[in-house]
Every structure is written in structure tokens, then in C-alpha cells.
Structure 1
């Protein structure tokens, strides 16, 4: 993996300062969101569907314009350099690569060809080592390397999507809902691989997830979003111990065990969440 340049080692790999994102020039999707991703950490951005977390990821990846979205105010810095006005290809060249929600593989190409498609920034001499790295991380892909991607299972497709991103040797890997639509055992395998990328390669990871339980188990720090705002943040362990998070994101109650959905429906958010 490519290491973080020494000159910016003491600054956050990614720093988002009070961004506001609007769609169509009028619809506010994200308001005053700030977060940091430190080098060598997994930072999770959590929240229910529609909370705004994927919009934040699109903002930092430079792909808002595809949906008529724009950053109305605020700033984003990648390794100390402002990128809020940069296009997606330039952000990729600076070292941040996104694995989009839904995988978006080339369905008619083989696993190996999909991996090669992610290596356009690498020299020919680096390709063999990059592929070997991906196959070591996801051993089940070795026997599937000549299989057309459209015939893979959902979990295998997610592995290829992550592997394709890794082929470009990113300094920061952004993952959008990697557990979406996958069976629990496959989710466990994917999240173990994400943890391994940090622990063994020192890769910096921004993890956008709805599965709070899985994300908090592996992340160093996390932010929880609701209605376009960050309402809570802390280390993974701090949030796992938080009573509100346990009850309404992990489905646990210290008094009664697992929370029933009928109770969640009538829940009124405690004022301190927005303090």
C-alpha cells in the first residue's frame, strides 16, 4: 500500500469543515457537517437511510454533479489540500478511491479484467503484485478470476469491487454500504477484510454504513448522522457503550434486552443528541 507522505503525516488524511450540500439549487441534503479521518484509521459514518451519509461521501469524492448536487459552503481537505472544487478524476489521482454502493462492476467482464480496470494509474510492472495482493485478501476470488463478474454472488462481487479499488494503491479507501444486501456470514468476511486492510497495511478507510453493529466493532472513530447533520461522534467503543446508540442503532436495551420496533416507532429523540 502507498504510505501517507511525510509532509502531511500530522494532518488528517481527510478533513470536512461545515459543508452544506444542496440538490437542484434548492434542496438541502447536508448541513454544517464536519468530520476528520486520521491516517491509518477506520472512521465510520453511520445513520439510517436518507440521513445524508452517502451525500457526504459523494461530496468528498467529487461526484455530486452527476445528481445535480453541489457544495454550497464549507471546505474539504485531502492530505492538507483543498478538494471541494476538484473533479472526481483529480481526487482519485490524489489518492482517494471510492467503492460505490451497489458494486457497479463491469458485468460482462471477468474478475481479472474488472481488477485491471482499476489499475489505470499503475505501471505494467506493478500489476502482478497488485493482483496478488487482492487475491491474498480475498482467496475465494483466485478460482473465480476467469469468471464473468455478472455470474458472481453478491458477496463475491463486493470483494471484486473492493479489489478493483485497491488495484490503484489508494491512500484513502472510501466504502459506501459494503454490507448492503449481503448474508450475515459474508458481511462478517467483508468486515474482517476491511479490518485487515487497516491492521496489516495501514490503509486509511472511510466507512459509510447502516450496519452500526458491524461498523462500530472495527472502527477507530465514528460519526452518526440524522436529517443531514452529525448528531453524535466518538470512538467505536464509546458509541457502543452509549445508551441511545445501544437502544436505537444496535437494537439493545439495558433494561429489557432487545428493543421492540413498536417502541422505536414512538421514540422521540432526546434533546442532547442535537446539543
Structure 2
């Protein structure tokens, strides 16, 4: 497959002046009361946008997502300062069930399915806040979105392929009728063709259901191809942000995240691993 992707135009709802759905202001996150994982991170997601949060492994991307979803406690993490607003409400001290009821649902890294339950049973877990009529309606929507899951509705999740498990994880999140979908590394460990299918589905969800999407990814090329705006994190900080088009043209992003250089056309992995960052990168 070609490694180049065509950026999509934002839908009508992404015009300047649209409402802010999710806003993070200068949050600091510490693990175990001592280890600073995120420092002074701010970002904004507007209604109907796909916003990507990019960076290498350990940059702090998933920690930000866990803070938004209120699941830091499980890893002894805590928001030391700053604020998180969802639809104008401060949620940095809210519990996870409240955030789900407010309309934000996370698809976690690694899928986190119930391996001994069937596909359909895993989906039903995501609809625990819905009545039976809504449950059945949303399940049917998921099966239309992912016909493969309809065929395997009675198959135990642990026997599915990685791509099929990712479909179940996304479908489970959709069962609660979210307004904001937060995806943590949806391409992780998947074959290129399956990654293309998953990213196409993300675009479909934005265009057909009006979902606002926060996408955490290491695969910058894939993410920038579908996102309207992106933030790049390193060492717990946002070091660069801008429209996807602008970032795709940025020389630093092209060299260090897309593996391209003006001189050579493509940078070797050895060069990427041993580069000396330009001073302006962290300015």
C-alpha cells in the first residue's frame, strides 16, 4: 500500500467560531505523588472536529486521555493542577460514570475486551446506561457499521483477530451514544489494511453521526490524514500544534514524525533515533 494519504476536508460543522466541546487548560499530572508525567498541557477540541494528539511512546498522550476519562486513579495518577472542561463543565474531579453520562467515552489502548464473553455480550457491556430499546437500536447500528461483527456476534472475543477486537472496542463505546469519542492508539498492532479500515470508520463516524473525536496516535501519517487539527507531545509537554495541513508541511514534523527529509526524500530510522532536535522545536 502507498504510505501517502489524502487529507479530508472538514465537515460543515467545523467552521471558525463553532463551540468548544472539550478544553484542557495547563494540566499537570503526577504518578505516585512524585513522577511528573504531564506538564502544563493545554488543548481544545471543537464540535465536529477530529483532533489528533501525537507523539512517541511515553510522551504523555495516553495519560492525558486517562485524565479526561477520569481513570487515572487505577494507576495512582492525579491531576495536580489545571482544569478540564467538557461542554463547559469542569470535570477534572468528576467520576468516570459521570463523564460517560455527559457524553465522552474512551476506547482504551489494547482494546481491553472481556475475552471470555462473546462479541454481542461485549457490546452490551457498553450499553449499561441505556434501556432495552436503545440497546437494541445501537447494537444494530454497530453491526451495520461493522458487518463482520454481525457475522461473529456469538464468537468469544478472545478468539477474534486484533482488527476484529478493535472493531468490538469501538462498537462497545458507541453503544452508550457518545457525543465525544476518545480513541487511544487504535492502530496499535494492526496490519496496514485493517488500520485503513479503522481510520475510514473514524471518518465515517464523524461525517454520518456528527461525533467529535480526540485521536491519540503514534502513527502521525495516518492521523494527520484524517484530523482537522493536531497537537504533538514530547516529554509530557505540547511542543507543537496546528492544522493538519500545516503540520504536514512543517519541516520538523516531516523529518521526525513522517520520516521524510527535503534532502534525502526519506530519513533512515537510525537518523531519526539519533537526531539532535532543533532549538526552536521546544521554544
3-state secondary structure, aligned to 1:109: coil
Which residue is equivalent to 1:262?
A: 270
Which residue is equivalent to 1:177?
A: 185
Residue 226 (structure 2) pairs with residue 198 (structure 1): no
Q: CA deviation at 1:10?
A: 4.9
Aligned counterpart in structure 1 of residue 197 of structure 2, from 174, 181, 189: 189
The number of residue pairs the alignment matches comes to: 267
Write the mapping of 1:129-208 to structure 2, written as runs, cut at 5 A.
Answer: 129-208=137-216
Q: CA deviation at 1:11?
A: 3.5
Which residue is equivalent to 2:122?
A: 114
Alignment partners' CA distance in 1, 2:137 and 2:95 = 29
3-state secondary structure, aligned to 1:158: helix
Residue 211 (structure 2) pairs with residue 223 (structure 1): no
3-state secondary structure, aligned to 1:252: coil
Alignment partners' CA distance in 2, 1:11 and 1:78 = 11
Which residue is equivalent to 1:18?
A: 26
Which 4+ residue blocks in structure 1 deviate beyond 4 angstroms?
none
Unpaired segments ≥5 residues, structure 2? 1-16
Per-residue CA shift, 1:5-51, capped at 9, x if unaligned?
xxxx9541110000000011111000000000111111000000000
Alignment partners' CA distance in 1, 2:198 and 2:50 = 14
Which residue is equivalent to 2:89?
A: 81
Task: Give yes or no for contact 2:259–2:272 (8 Å, CA) kept in 1.
Answer: no
Q: CA deviation at 1:208?
A: 0.5
Q: CA deviation at 1:266?
A: 2.6
Report the aligned-residue RMSD.
1.1
Alignment partners' CA distance in 2, 1:266 and 1:104 = 34
Alignment partners' CA distance in 2, 1:203 and 1:146 = 28
Alignment partners' CA distance in 2, 1:110 and 1:235 = 40
Alignment partners' CA distance in 1, 2:30 and 2:162 = 32
Alignment partners' CA distance in 2, 1:152 and 1:218 = 27
Alignment partners' CA distance in 1, 2:104 and 2:282 = 31
Alignment partners' CA distance in 1, 2:253 and 2:208 = 29
Task: Give yes or no for contact 1:53–1:208 (8 Å, CA) kept in 2.
Answer: yes
Residue 38 (structure 2) pairs with residue 30 (structure 1): yes
Task: Give yes or no for contact 1:11–1:80 (8 Å, CA) kept in 2.
Answer: no
Alignment partners' CA distance in 2, 1:34 and 1:11 = 17
The normalised TM-score by structure 2 is 0.92
Aligned counterpart in structure 2 of residue 51 of structure 1, from 59, 73, 86: 59
Residue 242 (structure 2) pairs with residue 234 (structure 1): yes
